[in-house]
Structure 1
């Protein structure tokens, strides 16, 4: 038995799940590992996030507490050993939005409206202190990851960072809220036996920050992993605007900026996952991300950024081959 297995055995021995059957679950882009525990027709989730792999469960614990205090369906934490990087969590099931919609595409409006209702609720709440800001100064350098990993250019990196930060300073709303930053159909669970906002189960939110809720709105409707009907994107902007007391034009402008910034960042992150980390499956998503970027850059208020981004190559076969060759 490895040292890590010993740690897990010792942790579970302090709970009522010591003899549970362990079923590994699909891993995400992080170094975290998830295991479903099954015992006497009950289920729980073990999060294995060792510090030796660069993980830290403290943000997850903090954000879980914040979300649950807001009445939202983040998983309950049954037990924790923060130093060991081990958490025992409520099992919210397998009905990811993405899987539910694959089975029942006619539910798309219902599910997306419910997810946007969560964002509206977060918009109206004042987060407890302690969240790092996702502001103009932060957004620029993160967008510039596209010119670090996707199409390296030090000059373009500087220009994108400056331009995005300048646009954000002009466009971002005064009121900020807790943004989860990876709010999409593979991180949301449909819980139809619950009611209201609690029907939306939340996952992978440990990187939450204080920022514009339009960021999570476009994370949802301009999804890097699945195609969403453009009519849904437009309808959800209108629904969010109505629920937050803003004009559709204002939210459309915020969504364009946040979408352009997010998708520039994703171009860089997905390329980095291959070049640095050897995770190739994200490269196949780059064409969809590129399409989302072009959609956002079409907003007239983003013309300065669109001009800069014209220097970025599209993720065609030739450019993807160049990215692959850099590892």
Structure 2
């Protein structure tokens, strides 16, 4: 028998879904739990299913998710509609986007990969034409805190005694020109990739077109640089994106958004920063949380990081990596030990 969180039935009854069948959805979050609700499709509102999230305080706080969801929908982006909420108790009932994630759709429709990424780029273009939402800034302190995950987790896992102060100084030197320019600030979803984009066409999984795209997992949104979500999408830690596809999608973005002469340098800056962070996060997930499956993704992240470090704008950080992380540990082979 499923052990449902306390208060679940009371919440869905108040939301008008008390007669629904409850289906737990497996997840990897430590405290958040998800359920799909199914009921008679002949109900007045026509909705046969809904998604129920339980993000219980104090470990979780669903209010940021609600804030971003409302902002996105108010500005014409396809976030799920909110059907009911009780953030103090950790409950949120949303529209159900179904099960067709961009990643699995591409796996089943490899010939549609380019079209799916074009649609994802166009969604970012649409988002970046809006003023930044009322979210905290993606500032130097945040960039540094994230980049430091590499020295805090990956370096000790490899038995390395690295120059942590020099690492901070290198990132300051690399990121300061971008931050000081402050040319364009947009809403940054922060985890915009093929596993967080839902396909909403309503067609079969083997349909020839990827259809409309829905956004999920955006609760950590900040106001920052437009290149960040492009890095998330095109240097995906979870699936291979060919250099040719990456270059083609960047060209598409440039043509539609006209991001300015420093865009390529900033894309490399944020690519290196994000990939350094992810190497640290995936190492932490293995060593602290016992989630070894993330180790298989680290070589892909290192390959993207190495490409980013080749840009002249990354020279101080590249020099630090050469002095502190031996080449054999900058994993390109797939054999990661932590």
Is residue 2:225 matched to residue 1:225?
no
Q: What does 1:133-144 align with in structure 2 at a 5 Å threshold?
A: 133-144=137-148
Of residues 50, 55, 58, the one that matches 1:49 is: 55
Is residue 2:167 matched to residue 1:151?
no
Matched residues in 1 for 2:225 and 2:330: separation? 28
Matched residues in 2 for 1:318 and 1:200: separation? 32
Matched residues in 2 for 1:219 and 1:246: separation? 17
Summarize the Cα distance change of 1:317–1:292 in structure 2 as closer, same or farther, 3 Å threshold.
closer
Matched residues in 1 for 2:301 and 2:334: separation? 17
Secondary structure of the equivalent of 1:226? coil
Matched residues in 1 for 2:225 and 2:32: separation? 27
Matched residues in 2 for 1:318 and 1:255: separation? 25
Q: What does 1:283-322 align with in structure 2 at a 5 Å threshold?
A: 283-310=295-322, 311-312=324-325, 313-315=329-331, 320-321=336-337
Please tell me whether the aligned partners of residues 133 and 223 of structure 2 are also in contact (alpha carbons under 8 angstroms). Answer: no
Please tell me whether the aligned partners of residues 33 and 47 of structure 1 are also in contact (alpha carbons under 8 angstroms). Answer: yes
Secondary structure of the equivalent of 1:132? coil
What does the per-residue CA deviation read over 1:37-86, in whole Å, with 9 as the maximum and x for residues that have no partner? 1112411001011114x110000000001111111111011001111101
Structure 2 unaligned residues grouped into runs of 5+: 42-47, 204-210
What does the per-residue CA deviation read over 1:18-55, in whole Å, with 9 as the maximum and x for residues that have no partner? 12112222313452111111112411001011114x11
Structure 1 unaligned residues grouped into runs of 5+: none
Secondary structure of the equivalent of 1:51? coil
What does the per-residue CA deviation read over 1:162-182, in whole Å, with 9 as the maximum and x for residues that have no partner? 322321121355211000100
What does the per-residue CA deviation read over 1:89-147, in whole Å, with 9 as the maximum and x for residues that have no partner? 10011110001100111111211111111211222211243x11112332123112100
Q: TM-score, normalised by structure 2?
A: 0.87
Q: How many residues align?
A: 316
Please tell me whether the aligned partners of residues 197 and 214 of structure 2 are also in contact (alpha carbons under 8 angstroms). Answer: yes
| Aligned Cα root-mean-square deviation (Å) | 2.3
Of residues 263, 266, 280, the one that matches 2:278 is: 266
Of residues 132, 138, 142, the one that matches 2:136 is: 132
How far is 1:213 from its partner?
1.4
Please tell me whether the aligned partners of residues 133 and 187 of structure 2 are also in contact (alpha carbons under 8 angstroms). Answer: no
Partner of 1:187: 196
Please tell me whether the aligned partners of residues 136 and 166 of structure 1 are also in contact (alpha carbons under 8 angstroms). Answer: no
Q: TM-score, normalised by structure 1?
A: 0.90
Partner of 2:45: none
Q: Which has a greater percent of helix?
A: 1
Secondary structure of the equivalent of 2:6? helix
Please tell me whether the aligned partners of residues 32 and 55 of structure 2 are also in contact (alpha carbons under 8 angstroms). Answer: yes
How far is 1:298 from its partner?
1.2
Summarize the Cα distance change of 1:19–1:221 in structure 2 as closer, same or farther, 3 Å threshold.
same
